[in-house]
């Protein structure tokens, strides 16, 4: 799949973040880890609480400041408008100083990218690769929505069984569960809130890590205003600081469908020449 020249320039604008950091795929977070099964009842209580909160979350609309860093990029911060709706619908508008620079939307397995300055609509399959290219989150749409909404993946299933291990990392209590393919999912709790989601491969390599903070009560639901995600395999890091988020507001499915404008140019990345 080839990248489109003009599109790449605008994508650079929409992936703005401070000084880059180089991350090794095998990097493990710092902290002291000790087995402590005596805290299993507390973990069960906290995981059930998270599962109940996750079931209550359906959609999110928010302004955000996004920061992205990778070894080959030194971009500044960028303002975005984000709309997410479970399970897999996502709309991100990257804003320049005076207008919208780029709109990216997913609906099911389809991704659409609109460049207002060129009146150009590009379509592609919605995959971890294409989401990494255009919104810098190397995840499938459903996983990206889960990350942005502060949801613990499979929280209901994890709450239904005890963890394999419970550890301490700094001020966090971290529980680990084995999942399919011998991988491990870890949830960290601090001040009774979800503070960490981490996925490890079978060999212990960190696939991704997300930290949540600055929780506020939105209509009885505790919601994080700060999201910081690290992807060691992609050597990248992305963070969001939400401003005035609205959760569970009415979001029509049409918000995630981009249609070509009259006289606009259209392209399909899946059919592009290499």
Query: Nearest Cα to 87, choosing from 151, 40, 177?
Result: 151
What's the pLDDT at 71?
82
What's the pLDDT at 226?
98
- pLDDT of 33 strictly over 50: no
- pLDDT of 104 strictly over 70: yes
What's the pLDDT at 263?
81
CATH code that applies to domain 5-255: 2.50.20.10
Domain ranges of the chain: 5-255
What's the pLDDT at 236?
94
Largest CA distance in the chain: 66
Query: Nearest Cα to 226, choosing from 274, 189, 194, 261?
Result: 194
What's the pLDDT at 34?
52
Query: What Å distances lie between residue 172 and 7, 41, 167, 186, 230, CA to CA?
Result: 42, 16, 8, 12, 18
What's the pLDDT at 197?
98
Strands 184-190 and 221-231: unpaired
- pLDDT of 215 strictly over 80: yes
What's the pLDDT at 39?
84
Strands 110-115 and 236-247: unpaired
Mean pLDDT of 14-27: 38
Q: What pTM was estimated for this model as a whole?
A: 0.84
Residue 241 confidence class, pLDDT cut points 50, 70, 90 = very high
- pLDDT of 68 strictly over 50: yes
How does the average pLDDT of the chain come out, rounded?
Answer: 86
- pLDDT of 3 strictly over 50: no
Higher pLDDT, 84 or 19: 84
What's the rounded Cα separation, in Å, for the pair 253 and 235?
Answer: 33
Which tens digit of pLDDT belongs to each residue from 138-190? 999 999 999 999 999 999 999 999 999 999 999 999 999 999 989 999 999 99
């Amino acid at each position: 799949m080839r990248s489109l020249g003009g599109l790449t320039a605008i994508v650079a604008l929409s992936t703005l973040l401070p000084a880059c950091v180089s991350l090794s795929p095998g990097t493990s977070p710092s902290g002291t880890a000790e087995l402590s099964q005596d805290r299993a009842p507390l973990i069960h209580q906290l995981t059930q609480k998270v599962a109940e909160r996750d079931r209550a979350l359906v959609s999110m609309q928010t302004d955000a400041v996004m920061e992205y860093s990778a070894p080959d990029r030194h971009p500044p911060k960028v303002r975005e408008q984000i709309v997410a709706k479970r399970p897999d619908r996502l709309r991100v508008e990257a804003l320049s100083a005076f207008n919208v620079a780029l709109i990216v939307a997913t609906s099911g397995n389809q991704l659409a990218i609109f460049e207002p300055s060129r009146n150009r609509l590009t379509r592609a399959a919605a995959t971890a690769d294409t989401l990494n290219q255009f919104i810098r989150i190397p995840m499938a749409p459903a996983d990206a929505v889960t990350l942005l909404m502060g949801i613990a993946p499979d929280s209901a299933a994890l709450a239904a069984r005890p963890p394999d291990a419970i550890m301490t990392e700094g001020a966090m209590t971290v529980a680990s569960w084995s999942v399919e393919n011998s991988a491990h999912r870890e949830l960290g709790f601090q001040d009774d809130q979800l503070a960490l989601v981490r996925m490890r491969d079978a060999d212990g390599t960190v696939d991704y890590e997300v930290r949540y903070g600055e929780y506020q009560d939105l209509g009885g639901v505790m919601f994080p205003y700060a999201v910081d995600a690290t992807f060691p395999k992609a050597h990248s890091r992305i963070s969001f600081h939400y401003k005035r988020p609205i959760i569970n507001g009415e979001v029509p499915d049409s918000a995630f469908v981009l249609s070509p404008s009259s006289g606009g140019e259209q392209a399909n990345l899946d059919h592009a020449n290499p």
